[in-house]
Amino acid sequence: MKLILSDQKTAKVLAKLSKANQKFQKVYKGDSPERQPVHTVYGGANLFKSDRTDKMGKVAMANLDAYAPDFVTLAKALEISGHDDLPDSQKGIETLTAKLDSMSESEREKEPEWLAYTVYNKMKQKIASEA
In this structure, is residue 32 part of a structural domain?
no
What domain range is 77 assigned to?
51-131
Q: How far is CA 119 from CA 11, 104, 124, in A?
A: 46, 16, 9
In this structure, is residue 91 part of a structural domain?
yes
Q: pLDDT digits over 5-36, tens only?
A: 788 888 888 888 888 888 888 887 776 666 66
More confident residue, 4 or 10: 10
**Confidence class of residue 118 from pLDDT cuts 50, 70 and 90?**
very high
In this structure, is residue 125 part of a structural domain?
yes
Q: How many domains does the chain have?
A: 1
Taking the CA atoms of 18, 24, 29 and 31 in sequence, report the sign of the dihedral they define.
negative
The reported pTM is: 0.65
Phi, psi (deg, nearest 5) at residue 106: -65, -35
Q: pLDDT digits over 69-115, tens only?
A: 999 999 999 999 889 999 999 999 999 999 999 999 999 999 999 99
Residue type, 39: H
pLDDT of the residue at 38: 63
Q: pLDDT digits over 45-64, tens only?
A: 777 788 888 888 899 999 99
